[in-house]
Amino acid sequence: MEDDASGLFAPDRVAVVGATDREGAVGRAIVTNLADFDGDVVAVNPGREEVLGYDCYPDLQTAPDADLAVVVVPPSVVVDAVRDAGEAGVRNVVVITAGFSETGSEGADRERDLAAVADDYDLNLVGPNSLGVLSTPSGLNATFGPSNALPGSLSFMSQSGAFITAVLDWANDQGIGFKDVVSLGNKAVMDETDFLRQWHDDAETNVVLGYLEGIEDGREFIDTAREVTEDTPAVVVKSGRTEAGAQAASSHTGTIAGSEAAYEAGFEQAGVVRAENVQELFDFARALDGLPLPDSEEVAVVTNAGGPGVMATDAVGDARLSMASFGDDTIDALSEMLPAEGNVYNPVDVLGDAGVERFADALDTVLGSEDVGCAVVVAAPTAVLDFAELAEVLAERQAEHGKPVVACLMGGERTERAADALSAAGIPNYFDPARAVDSLDALAVQRAVEAREYEEPAEFDVDRERAREILTDAADRGSRRLGVEAMDLLDAYGIPTPEGEVVDDPADAVWVANDIDGDVVMKIVSPDILHKSDIGGVKVGVPDDEVRDAYEDLVTRAKNYQPDATILGVQVQEMVDTDAGTETILGVNRDPQFGPLVLFGLGGIFVEVLEDTSVRVAPVSGREADEMIDDLDSAPLLRGARGREPADEEAITDAVQRLSQLVTDFPAILELDVNPLLATADGVQALDVRLTIDPEQL
Amino acid sequence: MEDDASGLFAPDRVAVVGATDREGAVGRAIVTNLADFDGDVVAVNPGREEVLGYDCYPDLQTAPDADLAVVVVPPSVVVDAVRDAGEAGVRNVVVITAGFSETGSEGADRERDLAAVADDYDLNLVGPNSLGVLSTPSGLNATFGPSNALPGSLSFMSQSGAFITAVLDWANDQGIGFKDVVSLGNKAVMDETDFLRQWHDDAETNVVLGYLEGIEDGREFIDTAREVTEDTPAVVVKSGRTEAGAQAASSHTGTIAGSEAAYEAGFEQAGVVRAENVQELFDFARALDGLPLPDSEEVAVVTNAGGPGVMATDAVGDARLSMASFGDDTIDALSEMLPAEGNVYNPVDVLGDAGVERFADALDTVLGSEDVGCAVVVAAPTAVLDFAELAEVLAERQAEHGKPVVACLMGGERTERAADALSAAGIPNYFDPARAVDSLDALAVQRAVEAREYEEPAEFDVDRERAREILTDAADRGSRRLGVEAMDLLDAYGIPTPEGEVVDDPADAVWVANDIDGDVVMKIVSPDILHKSDIGGVKVGVPDDEVRDAYEDLVTRAKNYQPDATILGVQVQEMVDTDAGTETILGVNRDPQFGPLVLFGLGGIFVEVLEDTSVRVAPVSGREADEMIDDLDSAPLLRGARGREPADEEAITDAVQRLSQLVTDFPAILELDVNPLLATADGVQALDVRLTIDPEQL
């Protein structure tokens, strides 16, 4: 694929391969939709000399040089057609034709061939199974949908072509315009990450919108989106959020979607503004398109109606926003301008007899205050208030103060008279105060994304070779599941473990025990014995002089229990007082899209019953590890709630990052659980570990 | 107040007291708005002979008999005007005038006088500080707002007059009609409960809508609403849900709102469908007005577009609904009618080339299946699908099968062509699949409300006299805070407590201890010593022969610690092994609107850190007590999670109901905490209790 895909949206000449004038054919719809294109259009079809007034050529070699080929030939000849495009020097190809991976294994083979050809010729290829692409500045509508788009600064990618047709029909009605629109189709070559990159470089795109059912390469998406979202908002609806939805999405696209937890973590790390539904997708996109970002999350509500003002306040309470607390200057200024019955605290009530002037003065005052980052104006219709004039005032004041203002001019016909002025100023207006406030909330999310400093995941000084040896040894033994015998793996990556070792000789056991202060814990170590306690395979509080006997006894019990069990030895470990700290869990599993996910939470009921865990895609940075603790409802228990000694959070986040580095270094580790990781005021200790490896990835 | 308030909405003659033709006066606006009224209008104003063409009388005595008086005179003469109305035999009065309790103590006094007069004359009085009332069948618009309402079957009450003006302007534009509208104002006499009752009896009202900032009498509201909602849906936005919102509401209305937990519990017990915001209020109301209730919560999704179908499925996953799982018959039938690439499982994909026929057949099949309770039809625009025809099909199939269908015909202009047919059939249509599904969800909520059997709170056989004695004794001692000395109170109401007693003599202590198997726990009992353990006021595991010494020692320690402490004695109690069960908390506090609230949850971190508690307004029925356990995230810990022995849930719900009965019987109990209530497989035991009483209520 080429780095620059702008030729997809602003080509000089488009060739429609499979163009036809047959009624009802997709190849006709494409040609018809290209009528308003600023550049040249040529048809390619060996059976025709002309299609709908355009010159038609038998193949791309004979046609004049095109920089975009739209392919609508039958599935069996698509690969050939794309190869021809490559040969003819066309760099950008949109494959409209369906009948690829979405139809079964034969189609999947064809799609692989298609991707290989695109790779050979370094093509920017969209699809197959795409509705097409569209770009308003050049008048390009290379889709077979029924609608064109209005011009605008939103660029929109969708994994559903039908959704694009729906959105365009609706958006035209709403006056919402687009810069580029692309139907991603099966994403054989170009995917969401490519378009994020493309639109980041595009000065005419203000906001990227996406409807996605899955992400091809999660880590690449995060790394790209992180950079994009530092200055360009990306709002995404990811469908298949719920279990039912994920099932439906998988049967629809044939792909296995990653877990919702992975998407949630991945979008958060990528700085993507996530929309739960279609309404939010466009509400958020319009706010991000039209409004400046707020300086702070402090909202001022200005209203002529107590009740609706309270509703807006509730919505602020539901959001990440908070109600601005006015300083004395602001209160004094409002007191001077408002009648005595007005409310000079937030929400500011300018009263039902307020005209536009009073709204303007109050808005000026609150926007001028450094305590206020943004404002909602909530107005009920009254005889003395002209909504159209009010709209002008909002536009002026917003421009003047450079702070976002959203509107809730509550009415029907009289509100419509205000629509043009608001829309020209980029100010969203909703009947429901909650929707207006939610738009501000999206701005606050984007503000937080842009404000956060990117931090490279730390590279700790670890003993990677020793770790590799432990894993290779296990693989050589034929082990895929490892237990405490792998504690050294944690040690190699600097995650603290109790003093002790796995030994395979009673004399060594005594030697190790002598080296440890106090009594020891001894456990049989065998990949074939999972529930050690049940067979008496664990001895607690063994004094030094009983270690040898204990060793023999543990081995005997294990052999009696399962004569053919592989016995790796016995773990001799210092006694750890688990009551001295909080048991946490640190785990890893792999997501098909995002790769290794690191999970942290409190142990026992918190994980199993309350499902209070936090997940991030590895590698995890220090800031992200901090956020993982913050995310937990049970975090106060690590922070001194109920008279506990606060845990050493730095030791926890250190362990999180080191584990993240371990699983990033070794893709062979499929799953890993440190349970418990005991967190105390003095640090952490991994008391037990289990992992699953894939020897082939070593 | 009279029982029947229908005269407010369908009077024969309306008298406007304070009518005037002065430009800009409220009294003029009211008279003007009455132009379309079917009945007679008379003006009352001593300074005029005629107002805007209506005969004007100096007072109500000289005017012809009216059955509704609308009062718009200055605040200082409102009470007199209302008294005149009473004298003249007018039964229904709406006080528009503001300047009462919302303005301070003088206004509050005037409001009390007003209520007293209304009581004297048995008046149905709305307001003061009301925008007025409106009823479409009689053409009555006795408001001073700028808009009238379209006819319809929603009846709407609002504590904000401004919100009514906003809603009417907007609703007229949306084609939403109303039966009655009332601006509640300060609710000096008639409140939300009165109008619930009124509209329950009104055959022309299908759905009751409310915008409320508070509820006057929570228990009365629950008792009334419970009956109303058995067949008439009530959808309510309660503002001031959040802390910020509650503060704003309180400064706006001057009332102290009850806690959000109380409102949440109260609305749930009342069967009210709660809307979070204005959009939900009207979305839910329209669905409940236009659609039949579903037989089940099983949803079928029928779509021509995979992506939007997945979005609808996600929305089902978010709701209380679930995706219907089709039986073989349904799958076979769908397989026969759909092309091979279609999806015959739920969501049903009829494919992009589907015309109206295929939609109709698929919809027929799923609605005809007993596995399906309701359906969402999601359609993207295509060349072969006519949305207007599809709308007709939805209306027909819904009528035929009697199951609710909601629509998501995703488009702009082409969707508008379908609007009339959908609207005539009561079928909501939204661009966003989530909004369509949420409408079905509201139907499912109402279905559950109507399906649940009302259960009288049980009346347990308790020793009320003994309880009264314990409370009176404490009051006589001057105690307001009681501790373990009140364990007998629980015992009197049949809540199990450990064996033991509070004694004030060492000999009695020995006698009690002898009667208890094994060692005992002894605690000093003094209202002045809160932290017994800190002063060595608790002795655990005392054998019988040390009881006497222990008694003396406890008393000595207490006296040394605080020489003037009142010492009630020593509690001698059996040893309870708290590890044998789960520590729970059972508590009560009083809400200003709803009265006693019963709270249940697991103890320690679950209450204090995770705030995982469940609340109901007392008296609590058996079903409600069951639901209180269900509501807890930590409920699995009472039900055998992680290998625990399941607790005796019946014993828990029994204790919840008995405590509910206790606090209902004794309003003097302001707060009470049983902490812990130990729940084991064999029952519950209250191990400690604290309460606060108000002796004046005994």
ipTM (interface predicted TM): 0.91
* Mean pLDDT, range B564-589, rounded to an integer: 91
Same domain membership, residue A256 and residue A311? no
Q: What is the pLDDT of residues A260-282, one digit of tens each?
A: 889 999 999 999 999 999 999 99
pLDDT at position A4 over 80: no
Residues of B in contact with A169 (CB under 8 A): 381, 410-415
Separation of alpha carbons B406 and B385, rounded Å: 18
Q: Is A415 in contact with A429 (CB distance < 8 Å)?
A: yes
What is the domain range of residue A174? 6-288
Measured between beta carbons, which residues in chain B are less than 8 angstroms from residue A277?
Answer: 311, 314-315, 432-435
CA-based radius of gyration for chain B: 32
- State whether residue B675 sits within 8 Å of chain A by CB: no
- CATH assignment at residue B558: 3.30.1490.20
Provide the whole-model pTM.
0.93
Q: Please give the tally of structural domains in chain B.
A: 4
Closest Cβ opposite residue A173 in set B253, B322, B413: B413
Residue type, position A167, single letter: V
Using CA atoms, how far apart are residues A345 and A330, in angstroms rounded to an integer? 9
Q: To probe the interface with B, which of A130, A301, A310, A430 has the most B CB atoms within 10 Å?
A: A310
B154–chain A nearest CA distance, Å: 18
pLDDT of residue B4 exceeding 80: no
Question: Are A399 and A253 in the same domain?
Answer: no
| 8 A C-beta contact, residue B321 and residue B441 | yes
d(CA A331, CA A345): 7
Q: Say yes or no: A344 and A244 in one domain.
A: no
Dig out the tokens for A260 from the structure.
Answer: 């919702």
Is residue B501 predicted with pLDDT exceeding 80?
Answer: yes
Contact A613, A601 (CB under 8 A): yes
Cα B118 to Cα A553: distance, rounded to the nearest angstrom: 91
Report whether A661 contacts A460 (CB < 8 A). yes
Q: What is the residue type of A308?
A: P
Residue B356: phi and psi, rounded to 5, are -60, -35
CB < 8 Å from A in window 437-476 of B: none
Which stretch of DSSP H or E encloses residue B132? Answer: strand B132-135
pLDDT for res A2? 55
Q: Which of residues 191-220 of A touch B (CB under 8 A)?
A: 211, 213
In a domain, B533, yes or no: yes
**Measured between CA atoms, how close is A170 to chain B, in angstroms?**
4
Flag whether B456 is in a domain. Answer: no
In this prediction, residues B458-479 reach a mean pLDDT of: 94
* Statement to judge: residues B130 and B247 lie in one domain: yes
Tokens encoding A283? 């509400």
Nearest-5° angle of CA A405, CA A407, CA A409?
155
Residues 600-629 of chain A with CB under 8 A from chain B are: 604-605, 608-610
Name which of B405, B404, B373, B370 is nearest B390 in CA terms: B405
User: Which DSSP state fits A276?
Assistant: S
Q: Do B609 and A636 touch (CB under 8 A)?
A: yes
Percent of chain A topping pLDDT 70: 98
> Which residues have C-beta within 8 Å of that of residue B238, sequence separation ≥ 6?
B212, B213, B215, B263, B267, B274
* Stretch B384-402: mean pLDDT: 95
Residue A478, token pair as written in the block? 């034929």
User: Hey, which residues does A692 pair with through a beta bridge?
Assistant: A481, A671
Interface list for B 524-563 with A (CB within 8 A): none
Instruction: Note whether B307 contacts A431, CB cutoff 8 Å.
Output: no
By C-alpha distance, the chain B residue nearest A165 is B381
B640: three-class secondary structure by DSSP: coil
**A380 touching chain B per CB within 8 A:** yes
Nearest to B411 by CA among A576, A169, A260, A574: A169
B363/B443 same-domain check: yes
The whole-angstrom distance between A342's CA and the closest CA on chain B is: 10
- Whether B239 and chain A come into contact, CB under 8 Å, resolves to yes
The answer to whether B329 contacts chain A (CB < 8 Å) is: no
Q: Would you tell me which residues 332-351 of chain B have a C-beta closer than 8 angstroms to some C-beta of chain A?
A: 341, 343, 345-347, 349
Give the angle B679-B685-B691 at the CA atoms, nearest 5°.
Answer: 115
Residue A585 maps to a domain: yes
**Which among A525, A559, A575 is the end of a domain?**
A575
CB contacts of A602 in chain B (<8 Å) are none
What pLDDT sits at residue A3? Answer: 62
Look at residues A547, A444, A567 and name the one whose alpha carbon lies nearest to residue A504: A567
CATH code where residue A651 lies: 3.30.470.20
- High-pLDDT (> 90) share of chain A, %: 84
Closest by CA position to A314, among listed A408, A451, A448 = A408
Tens-digit pLDDT profile for residues A538-576: 999 999 999 999 999 999 999 998 888 888 899 999 999
For residues B115 and B125, what is the distance between their CA atoms, to the nearest angstrom?
8
B146 contacts A383? CB cut-off 8 A: yes
Looking at residue B288, what DSSP letter applies?
H
- The per-residue pLDDT for B241 is 84
Q: Which pLDDT belongs to residue A257?
A: 47
Query: Which of A24, A166, A245 lies nearest to residue B381, judging by beta carbons?
Result: A166
- Identify the pLDDT of residue B232: 97
Q: Does the distance separating the beta carbons of A352 and B162 come in below 8 Å?
A: yes
Does residue B254 carry a pLDDT above 60?
Answer: no
Q: What's the whole-number mean pLDDT along residues A276-298?
A: 96
| B64 contact A CB<8A | no
Calpha distance B366→B334 (Å, rounded) = 9
Structural domain contains residue A670: yes
Of B239, B304, B431, the CB nearest to A310: B239
User: Using omega within 30 degrees of 0 as the cis cutoff, is the peptide bond preceding B676 cis?
Assistant: yes
User: Hey, which residues does B429 pair with through a beta bridge?
Assistant: B407
Comparing CA positions, the residue from B175, B671, B635 lying closest to residue B416 is: B175
Record: contact B306-A160, CB cut-off 8 A: yes
∠ CA A60-A63-A68, nearest 5°, is 60
Mutate to test the interface with B, among A33, A297, A313, A386 (most CBs of B within 10 A): A313
Distance from CA of B138 to the nearest CA of A (A): 24
A278/B433 touch (CB, cutoff 8 Å), yes or no: yes
CB contact under 8 A, A278 and B411: no
pLDDT computed for residue B1 by the predictor: 57
Q: Identify whether residues A550 and A614 lie together within a single domain.
A: no
Nearest to residue B95, comparing CAs of B68, B65, B61? B68
Three-class SS of A187-236: CCCCCHHHHHHHHHCCCCCCEEEEEECCCCCHHHHHHHHHHHCCCCCEEE
Neighbouring CB atoms inside 10 A of B345's CB total 16
Is B412's Cβ below 8 Å from some Cβ in A? yes
> Residue A381 and residue B103: Cβ atoms within 8 Å?
no
Q: Which of A159, A413, A431 sits opposite B307 (nearest CB)?
A: A159
Residues A156 and A279 placed together within one structural domain of the fold = yes
Interchain proximity B316–A636, CB inside 8 Å? no
**Residue A637 confidence (pLDDT):** 93
CATH number for the domain that contains residue A53: 3.40.50.261
CB distance A485 to A500 below 8 Å: no
Residue A67: pLDDT over 70: yes
Q: Taking CB atoms and an 8 Å cutoff, what residues of chain B touch A387?
A: none
What whole-number distance in Å separates Cα of residue A8 and Cα of residue A126?
9
Q: What is the pLDDT of residue B555?
A: 92
Clarify whether residues B255 and B312 are in a common domain.
Answer: no
Comparing CB atoms, the residue among B213, B306, B610 nearest residue A634 is: B610
Determine the residue type at A96.
Answer: I
3-state secondary structure A285-354: HHHHHHCCCCCCCEEEEEECCHHHHHHHHHHHHHCCCEECCCCHHHHHHHHHHCCCCCECCCCEECCCCC
The tokens for A104 are 């079964």
Report CB contact under 8 Å: A609, B637.
yes
Phi, psi of A57 (to 5 degrees): -120, 155
Residue B343 and residue B349 in contact, taking contact as beta carbons nearer than 8 Å: yes
| B328 domain residue, yes or no | yes
Specify whether A259 is located in the same domain as A380.
Answer: no
Instruction: Please tell me the predicted confidence (pLDDT) of residue B529.
Output: 82
The answer to whether the beta carbons of residues A397 and A297 sit under 8 Å apart is no
pLDDT band at B3 (very low <50, low <70, confident <90, very high): low
A151-180 tens-digit pLDDT? 999 999 999 999 999 999 999 999 999 999
C-alpha–C-alpha distance, residues A246 and A249, integer Å: 5
Q: Cβ contact (<8 Å) for B380 and A634? A: no
Domain boundary among A273, A288, A303: A288
State whether B234 and B101 are in the same domain.
Answer: yes
Q: What confidence score (pLDDT) does residue A256 get?
A: 47
Under a CB-based contact definition with an 8 Å cutoff, are residues B334 and B344 in contact?
Answer: yes
The answer as to whether A328 is a domain residue is: yes
**Which neighbouring-strand residues pair with A674?**
A586, A689
B209: left (phi over 0), alpha (psi -120 to 50) or beta: beta
By the CB < 8 Å criterion, does A169 face chain B? yes
Side chain identity, residue B454: Y
Across the interface, whether the CB atoms of B305 and A162 are under 8 A apart is answered yes
Kindly state whether residue B28 falls inside one of the protein's structural domains. yes
DSSP A461-508: ---HHHHHHHHHHHHHTT-SEE-GGGHHHHHHTT----SEEEESSHHH
Q: Is B170 on the interface with A (CB under 8 A)?
A: yes
Among B2-11, B266-275, B343-352, the least confident range = B2-11
Q: CA-CA distances (angstroms) from residue B24 to B29, B47, B146? A: 7, 18, 12
pLDDT band at B257 (very low <50, low <70, confident <90, very high): very low
Which positions in chain A touch B241 (Cβ < 8 Å)?
A: 314, 317-318
Are residue B102 and residue B25 in the same domain, yes or no?
yes
B621/B566 same-domain check? no
Helix or strand holding residue B405 (H, E):
strand B405-409
Question: What is the reported pLDDT for B439?
Answer: 97
Residue A260: inside a domain: yes
Q: Select from A532, A552, A575 the last residue of a domain.
A: A575
pLDDT at A391 over 90: yes
Q: Do A307 and B160 touch (CB under 8 A)?
A: yes
Range name among A114-118, B127-131, B498-502 with the lowest pLDDT average: B498-502
| Separation of alpha carbons A615 and A601, rounded Å | 9
Q: For helices B649-665 and B622-630, what crossing angle results, to 10°?
A: 120
Query: A536: phi > 0 → left, psi -120 to 50 → alpha, else beta; which?
Result: left
